[in-house]
Structure 1
Amino acid sequence: MQCMLRKQAQLWEGAVLTTVGASKLPKRPKVLVWIPEIGDEAIVRIRIRKQNPDLATGDWLLLSRKTDEMRQTLALSTDKKSLRFLE
Structure 2
Amino acid sequence: MYHFHVNGEHDADGFDLPDIRVAKCEALEMAGRIICEEDSDAFWGAGGWTMKVTGSDGTPLFELVLFGFESPGAKAPSVQISALA
Structure 1 or 2, whichever has the larger Rg, is: 2
- TM-score with structure 1 length normalisation? 0.30
- TM-score with structure 2 length normalisation? 0.30
Q: Which structure features the higher share of helix residues?
A: 1
Name which structure has the greater RCO, CA cutoff 8 Å, separation 6+.
Answer: 1
